[in-house]
Amino acid sequence: MDSIIVTGNGPLNGQIPIAGAKNACLTLMPATLLSEEPLTLTNAPRLSDIKTMSALLQSLGAEVSALQDGQVLAMSSHDLNNHTAHYDIVRKMRASNLVLGPMLARLGQAIVSLPGGCAIGARPMDLHIEALEALGAEIELKDGYLHAKAPRGLKGATHELRFASVGATENTVMAATLAKGTTVLKNAAREPEIVDLVRCLRAMGAQIDGEGTSTITIQGVDRLHGATHPVVTDRIELGTYMIAPAIAGGEVECLGGKMELVESFAAKLDEAGISVTETDKGLKVARRNGRVKAVNVTTEVFPGFPTDLQAQMMALMCTAEGTSVLEETIFENRFMHAPELTRMGAQIEVHGGTATVTGVERLKGAPVMATDLRASVSLILAGLAAEGETRVSRVYHLDRGYEHVVRKLEGVGAKIERIKDE
Ligand code: UD1
């Protein structure tokens, strides 16, 4: 297990390239299961979660080749020979459940392990199940596995999700592309990753309307064909690196960033006194003088403030002037970074889903431990603004979602290195 050592050394300046979105790629990859013809993704991020999804697809009989240093994923599901997604892989990553809808639609059957509890909450699959049942699937839970079948194929239907779940929307839209007739999915999630998935499915011949709104209409077709699709920019990686100059000072241009991906987040940075401007290459973020102002944040489904940027925003608020209240409404246990930030001198009180942060002038470096993907990067961000050395251990969480984090931050002047633990 490796550690990352960060030493706060003043303002950051320069450019950081933003990769393709992990969460988009993890839903685009299972879309290969819908067609006998090849699907190629470009602008793919180089992450361990992508390797996990590749292994899962390969276990189902798909071919997955990572080309051009992993930035191109060439996939073919011509010869699927297995319809069971085993616990061994699914337990590593909840997004494994995104093979359920496509397998059911293409093969008429799927056995998928339940993901089980994960560090940031219970994360059940009831919404996925209800939506797929509305399309005519029969689903039973046996020995920790969902056994789903649709022997006569799926049938289009109108269904309203009880909550605008990202994963349930993705699974349902993918399944509905090959269903007979029309599916109308109401209260659908509107995240940019869903818009990206729909664009890819459309390139494969699917007939879909309404992506990016809360009603998505899918007209089922008999078959989908091959396509090549570029993965959308990672708005969470983008937001994470936007915090770097905000917390450490300086000016950083995030290459490939677009305002439409991070509107509500950028509005909060603006309220905190950080300038964000769109350039022809990306988004430029600057904190030139003075401390950041405290702002209140409530996580919401898109286009609201993303839960995946809450930990990073908390790190920023730890050094703000005043008191901020951060409310987490998407996941029930997503403040595990708070005690670690406290070890660095932050003043945070957590009550249920609310964290109250009273900013301090300067954080102090300390040994801290990463507990999940976004928590781990929040500790690195805090380290950029801390006095002395911060050693973040268990960084394998980070490798799930951030490629070349050391190289990217070093490139803008941060003092950061990765070391092998003995
Ligand atoms: C996706 C993202 C994740 C992000 C989350 C919310 C991927 C691979 N992951 O996760 O990074 O934090 O969206 O933006 O895209 N829920 C249920 N029943 C269900 C499904 C979900 O109760 O059947 C609950 C979950 O427990 C959670 C909430 O709904 O509390 C949000 O989950 P969901 O939108 O489904 O997130 P994911 O797709 O898992």
Ligand 1 contact via 123 beta carbon (within 6 Å): yes
Q: Is the CB of 253 under 6 A from ligand 1?
A: no
- Ligand 1, atom 1, lies closest to the CA of 166
132 lines ligand 1 (CB under 6 A): no
Mean pLDDT of 249-273: 97
Distance from the CA of 165 to the center of ligand 1, in angstroms? 5
Alpha-carbon span 245 to 251, nearest angstrom: 6
Identify the band that residue 370 occupies on the pLDDT scale cut at 50, 70 and 90.
confident
pLDDT score recorded for residue 35: 98
Rg of the Cα atoms in the chain = 21
How far does residue 114's CA lie from ligand 1's centre (Å)?
14
37 Cα–ligand 1 center, Å: 30
For residues 350 and 339, give the distance between their C-alpha atoms in angstroms, rounded to a whole number: 9
User: Residue 230: is its pLDDT beyond 60?
Assistant: yes
Give 352 Cα–ligand 1 centroid separation in angstroms: 19
First to last CA, the chain: 8
Nearest to 112, CA basis, from 131, 93, 120, 152:
93
**Using one digit for the tens of pLDDT, what is the confidence trace for 206-222?**
999 999 999 999 999 99
Query: Is 318 annotated as catalytic?
Result: no
- The protein residue whose alpha carbon is closest to atom 22 in ligand 1 is 124
67-89 residue pLDDT tens: 999 999 999 999 999 999 999 99
State which ligand 1 atom lies nearest to the alpha carbon of 373. 11
SS3 51: helix
- CB neighbour list of residue 216: distance below 8 Å, 6 or more residues apart: 169, 173, 184, 185, 188, 194, 198, 208, 209, 210
Who's near 34: CB < 8 A, 6+ residues apart? Answer: 77, 102, 105, 106, 174, 177, 178, 201, 204, 224
Looking from the CA of residue 129, the nearest atom of ligand 1 is 23
Instruction: State which H helix or E strand residue 417 sits in.
Output: strand 415-420
365 band by pLDDT with thresholds 50, 70 and 90: very high
Q: Is the CB of 168 under 6 A from ligand 1?
A: yes
Q: Does residue 118 surpass a pLDDT of 80? A: no
38 pLDDT band, cuts 50/70/90, is very high
Q: Answer yes or no: pTM beyond 0.85.
A: yes
Token pair belonging to 9? 């050394």
Q: How far is the CA of 126 from the centre of ligand 1 (A)?
A: 11
Which residue, 59, 120, 129, 124, is CA-closest to 87? 59
**pLDDT tier for residue 103 given thresholds of 50, 70 and 90:** very high
Ligand 1 pocket member 24 (CB < 6 A): no
3-state secondary structure of 378: helix
Question: From CA 256, how far away is CA 231, in angstroms rounded?
Answer: 12
Q: Which of 118, 200, 254, 318 is catalytic?
A: 118
**The pLDDT of residue 332:** 83
Atom in ligand 1 nearest the alpha carbon of residue 26 = 8
Report whether pLDDT(18) > 60: yes
